[in-house]
Structure 1
Amino acid sequence: MAERIYTAPPATGIPVRGKTLPDVLYEALARYKNPAFLNQPVGPGRWEPISLHDFAEQAEALALGLHAVGLERGAHVAFYMESDAHFCLADMACLIGGLVDVPIYLTHAPEAIHYVIEHAEARALVVSNQELLGRMIPLLHDLPGVQAVVVADASGVKRDRVVGRPLYTFTQLIAEGRRRRAADPEAIARLRAQIQPGDLATIIYTSGTTGRPKGVMLSHENISFNALTAFSGIKNYRSGPDGEVALSFLPLTHVFARTLFYGYLYHATSVYFTTPDALREALQQVRPTAFATVPRALEKIYGALVERAATMPGMKGQIFRWALELARRYELGRKPRGLYRLQLAVADRLVYRKWREAMGGRIAFIIAGGAALSAELANIFGAAQIPILQGYGLTETSPVITYNRLELNRAGTVGVPIPGVEVKIAEDGEILTRGPHVMQGYYKDPERTREVIDEEGWFHTGDIGYFTEEGFLVITDRKKDLFKLSTGKYVMPQPLEQRLTADPLIDQALVVGPGYKFTAALIFPDEDALRRLAARLGLNANQPLETLVREPKILEAYQQIVDHANEGMDPWATIKRFLLVPEQLSIAGGTLTPTLKVRRSVLYKRYEAQIRALYEGTTTETETHAAKTFES
């Protein structure tokens, strides 16, 4: 029987083809005037607005300024920038000027940054400010291909050369671009006329969980199709200055936030930039109607709710716990009826509206991507009338393949395909996709490109999943993450890890077991939550973390979490033994990717002895106390 190909259901958007990314800007300009299109942070709780018209005018001038310093059409420009209005301005200037930008994660190690700049053959480097310039100076000594450096915010910059190269500021280049445009009013029109939808727009180097980064080549149409088609499926989206208000705190170096920005641009949506650390305050100050996030941030919010439920005293505490239990029973896609519907209405007045107020009180929807979101969280937020639209995609797919719509939303799934995209499940369970969203290939790596894009144009995602009877896609694991026990049984670690990290006491988890006879786990506790638990249990909460994770009462609490995670799993996949590791994983430490995914190969190597001890039983004194064995 032929493999079934899944496409977008009726009335879930329209495919938008044939546009360059500057087209997105100029079509917005023709329709809207937004005096506060981009809002750049200038201090705690303060933003400086940039109008849509000024954004376009500055981007044009900067494009001409970049050409003035010797960057010709097709040249590659590396970005080492904060995720703010300056990034967006530099990006649009490159797009208008026919330049290819190469964003670099600020969290990359120096060796990875050097590799990306050299491999991408970048001829110029754009940095945000003096601080980031200082980080790059040591690397520039060994990057002869970089012929010019540009700094966006010149505050504190007093030089005009850096490591033998000319140093320009945005102010200088914009001024030069304005002079050129005044002398040649048709200059921008000629640049725009040269840009084609199939032209290379950007090279985004995937962080990856193993090996060196791969340069994903995305065209103008790859991204414009993806952004505009995905946005077309959001019913009742309000465009223009009186419409939606977006808060942006995810890295624009990642395609998820970048594609979202072009969608906001097309609709002239007001965008406020902030950082993950300032998110809580920004939600109250900006009161956004929409924002995008990774599931980990939502898990933190949920963890705070669970802790509050556990510690709130008296009648208020009882009501809060009652409302939380009601929310846990909610099921997206199924209308509440009878007594349950009335109970939800009461809980909304007493509790849920306060949750919404904590997020600014105006949230119309939250877009979640980058990792799996637990069904429990999606349902709980849904009960509180905070819609979470979880989606799925990769850098190589620009990125959206599927996402849940406001009117078509199922917890535990990543939604249905966007229009113009095809998806099918291979015989081994791998998810394949085909359409105008699929990348042009990996830069200077045709062999790896052929490995992932077959002769029929299907991109092999490397993810395992299936479609429900209703046509919603469910991701079960990464193909390369599946492992085989010595018993011959296969284990999918991600569902277990997702259940574990949904608990506020757990920051990260690694499920292990390849080649062994049972499944085990390394659990990295959330230190703050753990210390609060210790205080509630009457323990010394200030003792060293290494000592705290050995406390029997603490181990018993984590046993309950593991027991809960094991519920409903295949017997061979349940966690039989775990180790509490008193350390925090981080991007800077190389144990997490920039999108907060666990680097499995790094952890397997770093904690090789601890993992082996879990199975051999020859633990050290610390590990003996910190490990807990579970019988089948």
Structure 2
Amino acid sequence: MSETIHTAPPTSGDPILGKTLPDLMYEAAERFPNPRSFNQPTGPTSWEPMGLPEFRVQSEEMALGLRELGLERGDKVAFLMESDVNFCIADMGCLIAGLVDVPIYLSHGPEQMAYVMEHAEARALIVADTARLSQAAHLLEDLPLIETVIIAEGDADADPALPDSVSLHTMDAVRTIGRDTTTDRAAAADKLCAKISPDDLATLIYTSGTTGMPKGVMLSHENISSNATTALNEIPGLKQGAGAETVISFLPMTHIFARALQYGFMWIGASVHFTSPDNLVQALPIVKPTAFASVPRVLEKVYAGIQKKIMDMDGVQHQIGSWALGLAQKYDMTKEPSFAESLQLKLADRLVFTKWRDALGGRVKYIVVGGAALQPNLANLMAAAGVTILQGYGLTETSPVISFNRPERNMPGTVGEPMPGVEVRIAEDKEILTRGPHVMQGYYKAPEKTKKVLTDDGWFHTGDIGKFDDKGNLMITDRKKSLFKLSTGKYVIPQPIENKLGSEALIDKAVVIGNGRKYCSALIFPNEDQVRAVARRGGLDEEAPFSDLLEDETIYQAIADLVQQANKGMDHWSTVKRFALIPDELTPESGLLTPTLKVKRPVVHDTYASDIEALYEAESSTVTRTERGTVLVTL
């Protein structure tokens, strides 16, 4: 194991420790009683504001009501909820009451939902609405511990066929119960909060593993509070104060990334507008956020949208758009542009880039990106247009942030420097290890699994492979489990090529394969909208069946060129020699992606086993098509 322990730069602040999550709310309510802290969507482009003082009242009433219903400190409460203000109220109510909430991924199937509730020993379930209630109702017959179900929006008189042992309440009714239990709500809530310690378990988050059933990650109040507050304190451009920052939140709060940031944004007094990924494009110009969190896939779609829009233009507009895009694609934020380049960038900004920023609302200072690797070209492209992307790195088990790029030292292709209070070291096998207040308490009811990843002296094994550059920035090269060995004995790291291909507009996802084979191939899932746009510009019938278009030389050759580009600079044994164009889409609903959009490699391999065999059996220098519509291409 490497002796070098990497920490935050000496100029960094200190970690913020010793706080519970309700502490963050109470501190914010005292310092920044923002009248528009929480904004609940009432339509794709409309919101109903809730001030922090009202949020505090509703959360306290929720806490008192939950305890009056018989829930006791340490009891688990499962959530099947949308990512909105109702989630925040239910969550803070549970935290004040000393309860442990257990959010369930909405994309989970019934078997996984039931597993999470049973394994967590949940005693109550809070659902978003009648649709989510119906989704969960039939599972409750086999979950005798759950005696209370609460619905955020809907009618408690509806008949969802719940077991006789289960009582159904609305959130409003629970808050009324809490309000009626005392003549001094604030004092009663203070009494509950006084029993909470920063080391207490706050939540169980079941990780969306690529194989098997999920594991329950135990995160304490301090795990999350220290991570959220310390991270935002490290971004000097973020202002603190009531409404000083405007944020749009569209990522699922079942993930620790969005949830931790929500606590942090509340703490600094920001106004947060909730929306869904489907409504994001419409919402951005209305909300005009100054900052928001994203995953790389969203930005890749933004990039694809820019390319498609330019492709659809004609004449001078097309020429100007293509010229500006070319400038942005060549931009390198780590280098000072020449005088001539600066003039061109200013002109491109006036003609084109300002429209890109307007699509994001026109005021974005920072986009914080996590969850997966972001290609450097995307960070540079957005920087050319005046939008700063700060990529970070972490896991559910690390609450989540381990490291991130600071605005003044932003280095594309890296995930920046460690957070204050966080230690990082690289093991002999190149695995990234970390230690600090961000590391989980362990996996719930799984001491053996905990022991596999958490050493006695506190080092957590991330399962990621990485290294530090000469400036102290962490670089992630792959997942340890993703490595595979060719029949030649050479090991292959698939992530670099997959990331390059996945950042191209024409390609939605790419999965490099080759374990036990002589060479690498790739399963490529093209972006149908982009393929049809290319077809239109190439004079093809854009309405033709998707699989037919993939077999046209104009299309498969365009993708072949992208594969050749991705191969450049790679070890020769790691390059892709053949690829399959599959007219499907990888989604969490299909079971091929986790809820955090990671590829379930074993499932993908099983699902497309016949395509993989056909790919390796295909004759060289041919383009063939399988019965299911997959196009096989040899470079």
TM-score (norm 2): 0.97
Q: Could you tell me how far 1:321 is from its partner in structure 2?
A: 1.7
How do residues 89-128 of structure 1 correspond to structure 2 at under 5 angstroms?
A: 89-128=89-128
Q: Tell me the equivalent position of 2:279.
A: 278
CA distance in 2, matches of 1:282, 1:475: 33
The percent identity for this pair of structures is 54
Does the 8 Å contact 2:36/2:243 carry over to 1?
no
Deviation at 1:329, TM superposition (A): 2.0
- Residue type matched to 1:336 in 2? P
User: Per the alignment, do residues 184 and 249 of structure 1 end up closer, same or farther by CA in structure 2, a change over 3 Å counting?
Assistant: closer
Give the corresponding residue for 2:54. Answer: 54
User: Partners in 2 of 1:283 and 1:625 — Cα distance?
Assistant: 37
**TM-superposed deviation, 1:314:** 2.2
Taking structure 1 as reference, are residues 536 and 160 closer, same or farther at Cα in structure 2, changes over 3 Å only?
A: closer
Q: 1:204 to 1:44 in 2, by over 3 A?
A: same
Residue number in structure 2 paired with 1:463: 464
Within-5 A mapping of 1:255-294: 255-294=256-295
Contact 1:402 1:418 in 2 (8 A): yes
1:549-586: per-residue Cα shift (whole Å, max 9, x none)? 22222211111111111111111111100011111111
Which residue type is aligned with residue 19 of structure 1?
Answer: K
Segment drifting more, 609-618 vs 416-425: 609-618
Matched position secondary structure for 1:407: helix
Identify the range of structure 1 (126-135 vs 617-626) with the bigger mean alpha-carbon deviation: 617-626
Instruction: Describe how 1:566-577 pairs up with structure 2 within 5 A.
Output: 566-577=567-578
Q: Distance in 1 between matches of 2:185 and 2:296?
A: 49
Q: Hey, what does 2:416 align to over in structure 1?
A: 415
Q: Aligned pair count?
A: 630
Offset from partner CA, 1:107-161 (integer Å, 9 cap, x none):
0011000000000000000001111101111111111111110011125853598
State the Cα distance separating 1:229 from its structure 2 match. Answer: 0.6
In the alignment, the residues of structure 2 paired with residue 58 and residue 585 of structure 1 have an alpha-carbon distance, to the nearest angstrom, of 40
Q: Structure 1 540/197 Cα, relative in aligned 2: closer, same or farther at 3 Å?
A: same
Q: Does 1:18 align with 2:15?
A: no
Change over 3 Å in CA distance of 1:5–1:46 after alignment to 2 = same
In 2, the alpha carbon distance for the partners of 1:19 and 1:584 equals: 43
Q: Deviations over 1:322-352 (max 9, x none)?
A: 2212212222233323222222222211211
Q: Does the aligned pair in 2 maintain the 1:393–1:399 contact within 8 Å?
A: yes
CA distance in 1 between partners of 2:590 and 2:628 (Å):
22
* TM superposition shift of 1:518: 0.4
Report the residue type matching 1:199 in the other structure. D
For the 8 Å contact 1:124–1:148, the answer to whether it is kept is yes
Question: Which stretch shifts more, 299-308 or 142-151?
Answer: 299-308
- 1:144 maps to a residue whose letter is P
Matched with 2:137 is: 137
Distance in 1 of aligned mates of 2:324 and 2:533: 23
- Match of residue 442 from structure 1: 443
- Aligned residue number for residue 219 of structure 1: 220
CA distance, structure 2, for counterparts of residue 185 and residue 598 of structure 1: 47
* Correspondence for 1:537: 538
Q: Which range moves more in the overlay, 26-35 or 106-115? A: 26-35
Residues 160, 167 of structure 1: 8 Å contact kept:
no
Alignment partner, residue 626 of structure 1: 631
Q: Report runs of 4+ in structure 1 exceeding 4 Å deviation.
A: 618-625
Please tell me whether the aligned partners of residues 289 and 364 of structure 1 are also in contact (alpha carbons under 8 angstroms).
Answer: yes
Number of the residue aligned with 1:329: 330
2-structure distance, mates of 1:579, 1:157 = 53
Q: Answer whether contact 2:61 2:185 (CA < 8 A) is retained.
A: no
Give the aligned partner of residue 163 of structure 2.
163
- 1:151-550 → structure 2 map (5 Å cutoff): 151-155=151-155, 157-158=157-158, 162-164=162-164, 165-182=166-183, 186-550=187-551
**1:32 CA drift (Å):** 1.2
CA deviation string 1:306-333 (max 9, x = no partner): 2233342222222222221221222223
Pick which of 19-28 and 149-158 moved more.
149-158
**8 Å Cα contact 2:227-2:401 kept in structure 1:** yes
1:563 correspondence with 2:568: no
Q: Structure 1 CA distance, aligned partners of 2:278 and 2:223? A: 32
Q: 1:447-485 CA deviation, whole Å, 9 max, x = no partner?
A: 000000112211000000111101111111000001111
Which is further off, 334-343 or 606-615?
334-343
Deviation per CA, 1:413-432, whole angstroms, max 9, x where unpaired?
Answer: 11111100000111111100
| Superimposed CA distance per residue, residues 370-422 of structure 1 (whole angstroms, 9 cap, x where no aligned partner) | 01100000001011110000000000000000011111101111111110000
Matching residue's letter, 1:455: D
Tell me the CA shift for residue 274 of structure 1.
0.2
Name the CA distance, whole Å, in 2 between partners of 1:146 and 1:326. Answer: 58
- Does the 8 A contact of 2:582 with 2:630 survive in 1? no
Distance change in 2, residues 1:156/1:561 (3 Å): farther
The alpha-carbon deviation at position 624 of structure 1 amounts to 9.6
CA distance in 1, matches of 2:508, 2:252: 21
Conserved 8 A contact 2:443-2:450: yes
Residues 573-610 of structure 1 show CA distances to partners (whole Å, capped at 9, x for unaligned) of 11100011111111111001111111101001111121
User: What SS class does the counterpart of residue 226 from structure 1 fall into?
Assistant: helix
409-418 or 2-11, which moves further after superposition? Answer: 2-11
Across the aligned residues of Structure 1 and Structure 2, the Cα RMSD in angstroms comes to 1.6
State the distance in 2 between where 1:438 and 1:244 align: 29
Structure 2 distance, partners of 1:400, 1:325, is 34
Does the 8 A contact of 1:14 with 1:233 survive in 2? no
Deviation of 1:187 (Å): 1.7
SS at match of 1:497: helix
Q: Which moved more, 1:509-518 or 1:231-240?
A: 231-240
Determine helix, strand or coil for the equivalent of 1:125. strand
In the superposition, relative to structure 1, how do residues 126 and 448 fare at CA in structure 2: closer, same or farther (>3 Å)?
same
Change (3 A) 1:21 1:279: same
Given that 2:551 and 2:625 are in contact with CA atoms closer than 8 Å, whether structure 1 keeps it comes out as no
* Cα distance change of structure 1 residues 349 and 519 upon mapping to structure 2, 3 Å threshold: same
Please state how far the C-alpha of 1:617 moved relative to its aligned partner.
2.5
Q: Does structure 2 retain, via aligned residues, the 8 Å contact 1:397–1:437?
A: yes
Partner Cα distance (1:625, 1:110) in 2: 31
Which deviates the most, 245-254 or 610-619?
A: 610-619
Does structure 2 conserve the Cα–Cα contact (< 8 Å) formed by 1:130 and 1:156? no
The alpha carbon displacement at 1:79 in A equals 0.3
Unaligned stretches of 5+ residues in structure 2: none
Q: Distance in 1 between matches of 2:44 and 2:458?
A: 48
Q: Structure 2 matches for 1:10-89, cutoff 5 A?
A: 10-89=10-89
SS at match of 1:471: coil
| Map of 2:616 onto structure 1 | 615
Q: Aligned in 2, Cα 1:498/1:2: closer, same or farther, shift over 3 Å?
A: closer
Secondary structure (helix, strand or coil) at the match of 2:181 reads helix
Which AA in structure 2 matches 1:466?
A: K
Partner of 1:586: 587
**What are the Cα deviations for residues 486-514 of structure 1, in whole angstroms up to 9, with x where unaligned?**
11111111111111111111111111001
* SS across alignment from 1:508: strand
Distance 1:160 1:278, change over 3 A: closer
| Change beyond 3 A, Cα 1:157–1:506 | farther
Q: Deviations over 1:189-237 (max 9, x none)?
A: 2111100000000000001111110000000000001001101101131
Question: Counterparts of 1:354 and 1:375 in 2: how far apart (Å)?
Answer: 22
